[in-house]
Amino acid sequence: SGMGERTRAAMASLGLSHGDQLADVFRREHAYTAEVSDVLEEYDSTLQALVRCYMSDLTRVGRDVVGLSAEVLLSYDGYCRFVRDFRLIDATFSMRQATATFVVSRMRAIDELGQANRVKVLHLSRLDFYEALVRAAVNKSWPSEEEVRASGCDDAGDFVLASMEEGGAAHARFLSEHPAGYGKQLVPTHVCLQGLLSLLTRMIATGRGTSGRALTPASF
């Protein structure tokens, strides 16, 4: 499938595989921490709105799949709509990287041939989606708290949205001066996540993202 080809290319280019130890280290030391949990709790209303908009109840994916009856799931296509709706693809976070983020955030299935496990392999659970957001956040450029204060912006999301809308050389300079990627980012992981979620929240509230999607300020 097209998704399979893109997935394999992304995984190979980023040096990742299904059992990649670095992916597990990131998950343990960066995605599942008290600081990240606090940020997720702070933006719970935004997360719930995203879940309602982009994730499908399992009954719409495949009925009577043993062990997954209570799940809501995010397909690869739904994930691609999400990153495009919120204009997350840029010079620091390519579609290839977005695909790799989807792949390494999935639930692990020992037997990928079984029906339930195949569903797991092809979709993100709610928890997987949150992990994917953490990984995406680390691969985006964010200002420091000092830069946010000096700019007069309310938060990192406000700062980045203003930079995105200014565009051109100014935004390109911001991206080049603020490295992104695991081990390269200038701010801690939970601050990256706070930046991403504040950006998504602001884009929903102001109607600047979600082209054609059913997300409005009333979604909160």
Tens digit of pLDDT for each residue in 138-185?
A: 999 999 999 999 999 999 999 999 999 888 898 999 999 998 887 777
Q: Is the pLDDT of residue 14 over 50?
A: no
pLDDT value of residue 19: 45
Q: Is the pLDDT of residue 48 over 50?
A: yes
> Residue 43, SS3?
coil
Q: What is the mean pLDDT of residues 84-101?
A: 91
Tokens of 23: 């992916």
- Is-contact 216 204, C-beta < 8 A? yes
- Is-contact 106 121, C-beta < 8 A? yes
pLDDT value of residue 200: 95
- Is-contact 151 143, C-beta < 8 A? yes
